[in-house]
Structure 1
Amino acid sequence: MVKEISLAEVRGLIGTKTGLSDWILVDQAMIDAFAHATNDHQFIHTDPARATTESSFGGTIAHGFLTLSLLSTMNYNALPKIREQTMGINYGFDKVRFMAPVKSGTRIRGHFVLADARFRGASMLMTTYEVSIEIENEKKPALTANWITIIQFDPKDRPEET
């Protein structure tokens, strides 16, 4: 994948796979830290013995929101840097779907397809990525979503639209 592009090149990537992240291990320590940070200590996340005997998952699973939040690190790892970008803003998600559980001890990675890129005002580019998070050795993704971000840049760097 391309590691750096210019602002003028972004719109030419619409419809293409623009990033594939490295694998991330989701282990029990990560799940427990997320449970602590969010005060969500449901046993299917934090009690391996009970989750093995009292759930259909065969052990603990990551919180769906933990999986979703890992898109941030996957983004930095996978998507090309835009030379003129001064700041990136997480604008939100459309159609987030948690498709399959992420079991403790498994690895996940993000797939990014640039679905849309539109200039807004003099110094912003709104991008929409179709994202999915693959679970290693599983057919079904952990999640799918449309992720909307805003790229800010100096107005003098805005390319001419054709």
Structure 2
Amino acid sequence: MRTFASPAELLGAVGEPLGPGRWYPVDQDRVNLFADATDDHQWIHVDPQRAAAGPFGGTVAHGYLTLSLLPVLVTELYRVDGVRMGVNYGLNRVRFPAPLRVGTRIRATALIVGAEPVTGGLQVVTSVTVESAGGVKPVCVAETVSRLYFEEGK
């Protein structure tokens, strides 16, 4: 994990690759809980028997579940000293190039694409790639926009 000592140090790291982070498991229980939370119970996500005969040979995680794991995956990659609050400001682009088979582990790498001062902090654009163990293509590639707000005097 990379630790930036200050906002200025983060600003100077634009173009720097980060990671990979640790492997993170995605199991059927997590997928089922996400299905319950979003009311998306499509069989390719929640019915292992039917999905075994489907196009992916088993259940796959929701793309939005993979996307929702970005905060935990990115916290494995970097932190900035003095941050009092971080806010998800949005996404510029998201793709799911390959399905995420349930029971697979994932991890992230990232590239700091841009950073600029905003009132009270920094806006950081990061290109995050999520790979699955044994996968050929990434399961998610997303350009995230975050706002980091710092303690007084940072």
Q: TM-score, normalised by structure 2?
A: 0.94
Provide runs of 4+ in structure 1 moved above 4 Å. none
Q: Write the deviation string for residues 75-128 of structure 1: whole angstroms up to 9, x where unpaired.
A: 22221x21121100000111100110000111110111101000012x120000
Q: Write the deviation string for residues 102-159 of structure 1: whole angstroms up to 9, x where unpaired.
A: 00111110111101000012x12000001110111111000111100000114532xx
Q: How does 1:1-162 map to 2 (within 5 A)?
A: 1-53=1-53, 55-79=54-78, 81-121=79-119, 123-154=120-151, 156-157=153-154
In structure 1, how many angstroms separate the alpha carbons of the residues matched to 2:112 and 2:8? 15
Q: Which residue identity is paired with 2:27? A: D
Q: TM-score, normalised by structure 1?
A: 0.90
Q: Which residue identity is paired with 1:29? A: D
In structure 1, how many angstroms separate the alpha carbons of the residues matched to 2:51 and 2:65? 18
Larger Rg: 1
Q: Which residue identity is paired with 1:28? A: Q
Gaps of 5+ in 1: 158-162
